[in-house]
Amino acid sequence: MKSSYLNNNIKSILAIIIVTAALGYFFAVTAGGVKADSQITIAIVSVLSSATGYYFGSSAGSAKKDDTIAASMANQKTGGDQPAPDETH
């Protein structure tokens, strides 16, 4: 079954939207003369850090885990760390 473009890229699209919105707000506050509300700033920083932490941390950790599992499975197929059975008896 074919997946749509949106289904395949929803995490990336949401991350881009969140980062763009946060940068837009910070730009409006610093250069646009908009008065910063501390609660909005805290909310934006928390959402931004959650989104970037999930996107980069989870993706990197998951990819590393997948590589480790694949290497472990390949190691088991080739004999791995198991000693060869002693056939002299």
Q: Are 40 and 15 in contact (CB under 8 A)?
A: no
In a domain, 32, yes or no: yes
Domain total of the chain: 1
In a domain, 57, yes or no: yes
Tell how far CA 54 is from the center of its chain.
5
In the chain, what is the straight-line distance between the N-terminal and C-terminal CA atoms, in Å?
Answer: 56
Quote the Cα angle for 59-63-68, to 5°: 150
Q: In angstroms, rounded to a whole number, what is the distance separating the alpha carbons of residues 11 and 47?
A: 14
Segment 11-58, tens digit of pLDDT: 888 888 988 999 999 999 889 888 988 998 899 989 888 887 877 776
Q: Which domain holds residue 33?
A: 5-75
Range of weakest confidence among 4-13, 41-50, 78-87: 78-87
In a domain, 14, yes or no: yes
Predicted TM-score of the model (pTM)? 0.55
